Structure 1
Amino acid sequence: DLINRKTVNLENIKYVVLDEADEMLNMGFTESIDEILSKVPQNRSMLLFSATMPKEIAKITRKYMEEPKEITIGRKNEGSENVKHVYYMVHARDKYLALKRIADFYPNVYGIIFCRTRRETQEIADKLIQDGYNADSLHGDLTQAQRDYVMQKFRQRTLQLLVATDVAARGIDVDSLTHVINYGLPDDIESYTHRSGRTGRAGKTGISIAIVHVKEKGKIREIEKIINKKFEQGQIPSGDDICEKQLFSLVDRIEKVKVDEDEIARLLPSVFRRLEWLEKEDIIKRVVSLEFNRLIEYYRNAEEIETPSDRYTRDDRSGRTRRDSRTESRGGGSRSAEKGYSRLFINIGRMDNVNPATLMGLINDFVPGKVRIGRIDLMQNFSFFEVPESDASKVIGSLKGQEQNGRRISVEVAQGGSSNSSGERRERRSGSSNGGRKDFSRNSSPSRPEKKEHRKGGQRRPKFS
C-alpha cells in the first residue's frame, strides 16, 4: 500500500526480514511479497523465520534467497519441550460445557482459546462473558482500535481468557501463558505447532489442551508424529474435583493477600467486636461457605459430562451406527422425524463441501430468529435435517433461492418427514448416511434439553457455570 501511494522508497534497503513466513503464505501474501521484493536491491541480505518448515518455505528460499543457510533451533516442527499436551474426548454437543469445566479446574488459567472461525470465536467469547468469565474475543471483524484494546487488557492480565482465531493471534507476544486451549483442532496440522508454541516460553512450563470429538482422534495421532510427542488423554474434571481445586485456590489467595495495616486499622476494632463471639474454626467455615455454597450446590446436582465409549468411537469412525445400518438395509435411509419435528430435504451434500457446521451456518445467516436443529444426515448430493414443525415453513421460505458455492438452494419437506406421519415411508431420496444420527442446534443448543451450566456475575469467581 505504501509503495502504491509512493510514500516509501526501498532502493536503499540493506536487510529484508520475513517473520512467520509460513503464516504469510497461508494468508495469501505471496503476490504482495513478490511486489515488495521487486523494489529492493538484489544485493540485500535476507532473513526468514518460520515456526514450521513445510515445503512451501523451501520454495520461498529458492525464489528469494541465494545460497541460503538454514539454522534450526531444536528440531523442525517439533513442539516445545516445556509444553504438556492433553486432549479431552467429548461428544460434539458437550464441547462448550467441557471448556468451562476445564477453565474452572484451573482457577489461575491465563491462556488463549483457539477457534476455527470468526463466528465461532465471537460466539464462544460471548457465552464465556455471559457465564461470568474474564474473557474477550480477538478476530478479523474487530477494528484495529478494538484489537488494541483487547490486547492491552490481555497483556495487563485483566483478561484471563482470550478467544481468538489463528490469523488474529498471529504476532501475539506474551511469555507467561499457562494454557493454550484448542476448541477443536486446526485443519492444518502445522498450525497446532504455532498454537501450542505460545505457551511454555522463556523457560516456563505450559499446557496445550485439545477438546476433540470422536472423529478427530485420528488427527491427534497425526499431530503426535509431527511434534514427536505423545498426548495424554485427560478426564473431564468432576464437580468434586473442581470444588476442591477452587477451594485450595481460595486458601492460597488468603495466605498470599497483601494486608495494608494502615488502611484497615481504623476499621478493625469494629470488625473484631462483631466477630468476637465466633471461634476461629467457625470464621473459616463461614468464609469458605460464603465463597462456595452456590458452587457446591450446583455441582451436587450437575450431570457429569459423558466420555464417548470405545464402541461409540468405532461406530462414529465408520460413519454409521448399528441402528443406521439396520435402517439402511430396510430402505436406503428412510426415516421418520422425531416427535414435534419436521424432516427437510435440501439439495446440497458432501460433494458441495457441506458439513453440519455449514448447514447450521446457512440457517444462522438466512433464517430470522432462533431455530433449533435436530438430526442431520449428509448424503453425497443432498442432505436431510430436522427442525421443529412450527419452524419448517419459515426455514423453507427463508432458504428458498439462496446460493451455496454458486448452487441455488432448494428445500422441501421430505416424504415421510413429519413426526405425525404413520409408519416409516420412503423419503424422496435414498442414500447412505454420513455419521448416522447427530444432534445439532443453532447456538449450540441440542434438540434435547441441554445440561445447564450457567452462572451470572461480575468479577471472576469460581465458575460453576
Structure 2
Amino acid sequence: MKTFKELGVRADLIKGIQELGIIHPTDVQDQAIPFLLENGGDLVAQAQTGTGKTAAFGLPLLMKVNPKSNDIQAVVVAPTRELAKQIGKQLFRFTKFSEQKIFTEVLCGGDNFDRQVASLQRPTHIVVVTPGRLLDLFQKKALTLLHVKHLVLDEADEMLSMGFKKELVKIFGLTRARKSTWLFSATIPDAINGLIKDCMSGKPQSLKIDKAHVVNRDIDHRFAICGRDEKTEFISGFLSRQGESRGVIFCRTKAGAIVLGKQLAAKGFPVAVLQGDLTQKERDTIMRSFKKERVQFLIATDVAARGIDVEGLSFVIHHQLPEQIEYYTHRSGRTARAGKKGISLTLVEPRERAKITKLENTLDLSFSEVR
C-alpha cells in the first residue's frame, strides 16, 4: 500500500489529513492523485460516496492553486448545499498546517446572496458552489471565471438527475480557458457520456473503482428477517439498546420516512425526518439539530441524504434495501469513518433473502444474521 508521500502529496497537506484520521490512501486516491498531480488533464472517475473522493481531487487542487494570486483559479460544483459545505470544510481542514493559505468560498442557494457577494471581494482561490448559485452570481457580475484553470464536478450523475444539465453546459462554456476538467460520479449513465462528449475536449483519462473495493471494511454488515409490519418494533428494540450512539435510518420513499418518524417519535425516541418536501430552512434546522446532537437518530430518504456529513455515527439502518446496489454503499458509507467501526443493519422480508446473497457476491461482503 502506497503512502500519501509516495503519491506526491506535500508534507503540510499530509499533516492536515492525518489530523483528520486519513492515514492510508483509498483506491480512488491512489489512482487519481498521481495522475492529477503529474498530468493534470481531464479525468472521469467513477467512484461511490465514502471512497474518499474529496481528498482525491482536493489535495491535487490545493497543490495546483497559486496562493500568491487573488484570482478564482478553481471551481468545484456539487449538487447539494450540504455536499458543497462538506467539501469546503474538508479543503479548509486539509490546509491547516500550510504556511501560505488558500482561500475557499462556499456559495450555495439558500444562503444570503448579498453576504456571498461581499465575501467574494476578499481574496478567493477556490469556490465550491451549487450550479444555480454560480450562474446567479456570474450574471450579477459578482465573480469572474476568466482565470479558472480547473473545473471539478462532484456527483455529476446526481446533478443531472436533479435537472442541472443546462446549468452544467453553461458552466462548461463560461470556463473555456480552463486547463482541466475532473468529473466524479457514482454511475456513468448515457447522460454523463453525452456531457463528456459535448463539453470535454479530447479523450479524458478514465478511472473506475471496482465495486468490490468500495465498501469500508470497518463496517459490520448485518441483516434481519422480519415482515413489513414488524420493522418498526425491530428498529425500536435496536435503538433502545444503543445508549448514546447515533445513526441514520434510510427509507426508500418520503411517505415511508414520514410514517416511520411519527411511529418512533410516539415511542419517545429523539428522531427527525429528512425528506425532499422540506424547505431549505427546515432542512438546515434538522441538520443543525442532528450535528449538535439534539437529535439522536435521523430518518432520511436516499436523495435527501446526499451530502450528509456527520461525524461519529455508529450505525446505519436500511428500513428497505435501495433499488440500486450503488446506493447501499452510499448509505453504509455514513458510518465507520476516520478509522472507526460501525454497523450497517439491513431489514429484509422473508422473500427478499436472496437480495442479501446478491449484495455479498457483488460487493464481496459477508453479512451476519441477527434475530
Normalising by structure 2, report the TM-score: 0.57
Which residue of the partner structure matches residue 13 of structure 1? 148
2:169 to 34, 56, 64: 34
Structure 2 residue 181 is matched with structure 1 residue 46? yes
Give 1:20 deviation, angstroms. 2.0
**CA 1:76–1:12: 2 relative to 1, 3 Å:** farther
8 A contact 1:21–1:57 mirrored in 2: no
Match of 2:270 in 1: 134
Where does structure 1 lack aligned partners over 5 or more consecutive residues? 236-465
| Matches of 1:184 and 1:229, distance apart in 2 | 18
Give the whole-Å Cα distance in 2 for the aligned partners of 1:56 and 1:222. 25
Match of 2:363 among 223, 227, 239: 227
Q: CA shift at 1:190, angstroms?
A: 0.8
Deviations 1:176-231 (CA, angstroms, capped at 9, x unpaired): 11001111011111111100011111111111111111232222222223321121
Contact 1:177 1:198 in 2 (8 A): yes
Q: 2:257 pairs with 121, 138, 163, which one?
A: 121
Contact 1:138/1:163 (<8 A) preserved: yes
- Answer yes or no: is 1:201 the counterpart of 2:334: no
> Which residue in 1 is equivalent to 2:108?
none
Is the 8 Å Cα contact of residues 53 and 77 (structure 1) preserved in structure 2?
no
Given that 2:246 and 2:297 are in contact with CA atoms closer than 8 Å, whether structure 1 keeps it comes out as: yes
> Which of 138, 150, 175 is residue 286 of structure 2 equivalent to?
150
CA distance in 1, matches of 2:238, 2:159: 32
Separation in structure 1 between the aligned mates of residue 323 and residue 211 of structure 2, nearest angstrom: 22
- 8 Å CA contact 1:113, 1:164 repeated in 2: yes
State whether structure 2 residue 311 is matched by structure 1 residue 178. no
- The Cα of 1:76 is off from its aligned counterpart by 6.0
Q: Confirm or deny that 1:22 pairs with 2:157.
A: yes
Tell me, in whole angstroms, the C-alpha distance in 2 between the residues paired with 1:12 and 1:215.
57
Superposed CA RMSD in Å reads 2.5
Equivalent of 2:240, from 104, 119, 127? 104
Cα-to-partner distance string for 1:96-147 (whole Å, 9 max, x where unaligned): 1111111123223311111111121122112211211011111121111111
CA contact (8 A) 1:78 1:226 kept: no
**Letter paired with 1:101:** G
Distance, in Å, in 2 between the alignment partners of 1:98 and 1:57 is 40
SS in 2 for 1:46: strand
Instruction: Give the Cα separation in 2 of the matches to 1:194 and 1:156.
Output: 23
Contact 1:77 1:190 in 2 (8 A): no
For 2:328 and 2:237, how far apart are their aligned partners in 1? 22
Q: Secondary structure at the match of 1:23?
A: helix
Query: More deviation in 66-75 or 101-110?
Result: 66-75
Alignment of 1:163-174 (within 5 A): 163-174=299-310
Counterpart for residue 204 of structure 2: 68
Indicate how the Cα distance of structure 1 residues 35 and 217 shifts in structure 2: closer, same or farther if over 3 A, else same. Answer: farther
Structure with more contact order per residue of length (Cα contacts < 8 Å, sep ≥ 6) = 2
State whether residues 151 and 178 of structure 2, in contact with CA within 8 Å, keep that contact through their aligned partners in structure 1: no
47 and 76 in structure 1: CA distance in 2 versus 1, 3 angstrom threshold = farther
TM-score by length of 1: 0.46
Equivalent AA in structure 2 for residue 94 of structure 1? E
Offset at 1:73? 6.9
Aligned positions, number: 234
Q: 2:351 matched to 1:218?
A: no
Residues 44-95 of structure 1 deviation map (CA, whole Å, 9 limit, x = unaligned): 4222234x34555972555544443355678666211111111111111111
% same residue: 35
Greater Cα shift, 182-191 or 121-130: 121-130
Change (3 A) 1:22 1:193: farther
- Alpha carbons of 1:191 and 1:146: their partners in 2 closer, same or farther (altered >3 Å)? same
**5 Å matches for 1:320-399?**
none
Deviations 1:219-249 (A, max 9, x none): 22222233211211111xxxxxxxxxxxxxx
Cα distance change on mapping 1:81 and 1:109 into 2, 3 Å:
same
Give the Cα separation in 2 of the matches to 1:230 and 1:62: 39
Looking at structure 2, the residues matched to 82 and 55 of structure 1 have their Cα atoms a distance apart, in angstroms, of: 30
Other structure's SS at 1:169 match: coil
Question: Distance between the aligned counterparts of 2:216 and 2:198, measured in 1?
Answer: 30
CA contact (8 A) 2:148 2:177 kept: no
Q: SS at 2:345's partner residue?
A: strand
Contact 2:148 / 2:178 at 8 angstroms: preserved in 1? no
Alpha-carbon distance between aligned partners in 1 of 2:199 and 2:362, rounded to the nearest angstrom: 27
